[in-house]
A and B are shown apart, each in its own frame.
Chain A
Amino acid sequence: MNLTRLATDFAGIRMATPVMGASGTFGFGVEYSDFLDLDQVGAIISKGLTPLPRAGNEGVRIAETPSGMLNCIGLENPGIDVFLKDILPKVRKEAPNTVFIANFSGSSVEDYGIMAEKLDVDGVDGIEVNISCPNVKEGGIVFGTDPKAAAAVTKEVKAHTGKPVIVKLSPNVTDITVMAKAVEEAGADALALINTLTGMVIDINSWKPLLGNVTGGLSGPAVKPIAVRMVYQVARAVNIPILGLGGIATAEDAIEFLLAGASTVAVGAENFVHPDAVVRVAEGIDAYLEKHNLSHVSELVGKVQIG
């Protein structure tokens, strides 16, 4: 793999490749060390962190669906304090050269500020703000579907950190460009899209939902065309860089996202199936660049030809 062709600066974060491990599918990165060379991972994006430890949802959390999966883990994580004390030092020891992006969420605007400040430490190269979780304090509004709330969270985070801020958008909206523009105006350094699509599976024998939480987030190859379309729309609506994800399993998938306007990509559910996928996708992009006589991956970004 020719790393000079792949090395990417994303919102001020210098990565070995433009291919990252997506939050919630890549643990804290080190879990993958048996399967791939972490030095060849563009970035580890952590499991979603919250202010307090969370046990997650009861009951069945995973369901296979056509070309994909539903999950309702419920943000199980040890909480920000345990992360900072125990996990981050271990990650920095075992993966000293890999970019580490911390994904987090909160249940109020203030929570997001507190989390951003706590994560403004050495060893964290950037932060990814998950705005798709329920807003408890504000009566169940979801930050990810209300542009004003999304902007408020973004501003709060920016005010509490010096790290590059990536805001991860939910696809469960009528017009994702409205959310993208609101977050850009509020000061986000980059956008990540898409998060999972809300879905449901019903067990026809018991007449009950299969998942313990009734609904879950759909990911895997099934969502890819939707994600590519949304990246394409958002790329035309904003000027900040985009991390594209949603159903990427191969280099060909990733190249679609780049052509649609993403400057980096992340592999999600596919990591569960093929744990070397992040590196395999990067190698495939490199082979594509070689074959098409391109000197850098950035030459693909947004180059889809319309009409």
Chain B
Amino acid sequence: MNETKKMVEIGNIVSNWELSADVNALVLECPDIVAVAKPGQFVMIKNEMGSTYLRRPFGVADVDKEQDLLLLIYRKAGKGTQELAQLDDGAPISVEGPLGKGFSFKNEGRTLLIGGGVGIAPIIYTARHLSKELDGPKPVILLGVRNHKELFWSDFVENFAEKLVYTTDDGSYGRKGFAFDAIPDILKEYPDIKHIKVCGPTVMMKGIAELAIKQGIECEVSLEKRMACGFGVCLGCTFEGKSGKRWKVCGDGPVFAAEEVFG
């Protein structure tokens, strides 16, 4: 379980800009949450001036602990995120967190980080943590995106990557196909990869999890499910693991061992 004290903090918008036609980046000044947030954890945010009722979960994309800044990356998919995208610098956002338990880290071998869609967001902080804070071998980063218009992720991760590989749905950049398809070559090139961490669409994580299990590589997946609270009371996000135990994505996850979800 997550032992960090959870809190609600008002974070003022430092910047809120467009990365592509439907994806935005949001930087909030959130000193208390930033000080304790770990890679793979999430926050529940609410625009108190907006028209939606419930908070929405956002994976922590990155933190700047010196400047107290929290980075979130979001797809403008619904009314709440469209309203969020309209907000100017200085606007207050209610941030609840840090929530859940993040990725686990072991001091051995290299890590392959795989992200798909906006699920790439938590890969940024995870990559920073591995390469800078833990000072271990830089991770190999594999990103699955729709097309060449979604290469903005490079700006966030390339400094932390031993190698950055893209796959695109339409082949407009990098390898055409799914992130999954690029894994065998990466494992051949980097036999020191001992861990895989994935955040993306369920279908993507399932294939990768099964491959990792088959090859005996430790694999963690980060799940996303609808939730109302984010801290274990609404029970909107529960599921039964392969062990038969019932889990809450919010409090027990969002990161789980691949075996428990897809084994």
A interface list, Cβ under 8 A from B: 24-27, 31-32, 34-35, 47, 55-56, 60-65, 67-69, 71, 73, 76, 220-221, 269, 271-276
Contacts and interface: CB of A to CB of B under 8 A. Distances in A.
A25 B54 CA distance: 13
Contact of B53 (A35, A60, A67, A76): A67
A275 B231 contact: yes
B54 A64 contact: yes
17 contacts: A34-B6, A34-B231, A35-B6, A55-B238, A55-B246, A61-B236, A64-B54, A65-B53, A67-B53, A69-B53, A69-B54, A71-B228, A71-B236, A76-B246, A269-B53, A272-B233, A273-B53
Interface residues of B, number: 24
Contacts of B232: 27, 31
Between B53, B55, B232, B240, the greatest number of chain A beta carbons within 10 A of the residue's beta carbon is seen for B53
Contact of B233 (A31, A64, A65, A274): A31
A69 B8 contact: no
A275 B8 CA distance: 8
B227 interface: yes
B233 A27 contact: yes
Contacts of B7: 34-35
A267 to B, nearest CB: 12
Q: Closest 4 interchain pairs by CB? A: A62-B236, A27-B233, A272-B229, A272-B228
B91 interface: no
Contacts of A76: 235, 238, 246
Contacts of B52: 64
A273 B235 contact: no
Interface in B217-263: 226-229, 231-238, 240, 246
Contacts of B233: 25-27, 31-32, 47, 271-272
Interface in B142-199: none
A55 B240 contact: yes
B236 A273 contact: no
A276 B55 CA distance: 14
B96 interface: yes
Contact of A274 (B8, B227, B235, B240): B8
Contacts of A220: 53
Given A27-B232, A56-B238, A272-B229, A221 B53 contact: yes
B53 A68 contact: yes
A272 B94 CA distance: 13
